[in-house]
Amino acid sequence: MNTFILEPQENYQLLDSGEGLKLEKFGKYITCRPDPNVLWEKKSPLLWEKADAIFDPQQKFGSTHWNNKNIKEDWIFEMKITFLISNLKEEKSEIFEKIKEKRIKMILRLTPFKHVGLFPEQIKNWQWLANLLIKKKVTKESPRVLNLFGYTAGASLVLAALGAKVTHVDASRPTISWAKENQKASNLEKAQIRWIVDDARKFVNREIRRKSYYDAVVMDPPAFGRDPKGKVFKFEKDVLPLLKSLSQILSPNPLFFLFNSYSLGYSATVIKNILSSILPLNKIEAGEIQIQEISGQRNLPAGVFARFPKIDN
């Protein structure tokens, strides 16, 4: 299994973790949130006193469960996605390389579910998506990408910023509204993103009937969820039929397929084997993403993934 580590970022750091909690800095604010993986001791107890907001699932501070000291409104988080562009200068047969970047802005807020609108470990996967699009030299061809269970649109914004035509599907209307706010904050109003409030299974089945095809797919299915009409999605029961349906609208030569798993408890091998039901097993890369504490001494497991094809990250 591969392990990919998110090191401290310009606007995000895992400051410390311990005793069932993680202390993170998102831009200008520090939050304290529960994490079931954290079974060790805190390294810097005094640092925790700097938390601007503390999530306590046992208490009701208003209706949010947050003991909010300093965060009185939404705030902007800016992330930087970098990628390498190589150009061959024919007359001298020299390769010139330069690093370019895209900056995506996300609006963060405190929610009753301990989330703030960003899963920071996914920056590693978003970086992979950007590198893949550049290496495949398809950014001018506007590949069609389907993002299922898209949440607040981090992946969709990165893909759209690089020229992809993105169809973003989520069953939550408020979450789609939040994603649109992120699109505006990132100055991507003219980007090609189609927003769909719907159950992923229903939408894919409609696309099959329409014979609407996609060059790539991103999906991050939950362990349990409900569509706008209350129909239940259960990972164990529904994810394999969903993949089988997706295979009917996926290009014969897909550009990529990214399958995330955040809190299901399965190993990366399980996710890889599931994805191999529609893509060649030997071309699927699977692994765990970890977040490195700012001290550089410990890493926090933050989810697993399977992705096609294998490329250098």
Query: Can you give the CATH number for the domain in which 234 is found?
Result: 3.40.50.150
Task: Please report whether residue 81 resides in a domain.
Answer: yes
In this prediction, residue 59 carries a pLDDT of: 82
Hey, what long-range contacts does 163-167 have (CB within 8 A, 24 or more apart)? 163/133, 163/139, 164/133, 164/139, 164/192, 164/216, 165/192, 165/194, 166/191, 166/192, 166/193, 166/194, 167/193, 167/194, 167/196, 167/214
Domain count for the chain, please give it: 1
Residue 313 within a domain: no
Inform me whether the pLDDT recorded for 120 exceeds 60.
yes
Residue 63 lies in a domain: yes
Is residue 211 in some structural domain? yes
Q: And the tokens for 185?
A: 């904050």
Nearest to 260 by CA among 220, 204, 208, 312: 220
Q: Give how far Cα 41 sits from Cα of 295, 299, 306, Å.
A: 14, 13, 31
pLDDT > 50? residue 88? no
Q: What's the pLDDT tens digit per position in 255-283?
A: 999 999 876 678 999 999 999 999 999 99
State the pairing for strand pair 256-261/285-292.
unpaired
Q: State residue 89's pLDDT score.
A: 46
Mean pLDDT (the chain) is 89
Q: Are 123 and 290 in contact (CB under 8 A)?
A: no
* pTM listed for this prediction: 0.91
Report if residue 269 sits inside a domain: yes
Q: Is residue 25 part of a domain?
A: yes
**Pick from 12-21, 23-32, 130-139, 156-165: least confident:** 130-139
What's the domain range around 150? Answer: 2-308
Does 142 reside within a domain? yes
Beta carbons of 155 and 122 less than 8 angstroms apart: yes
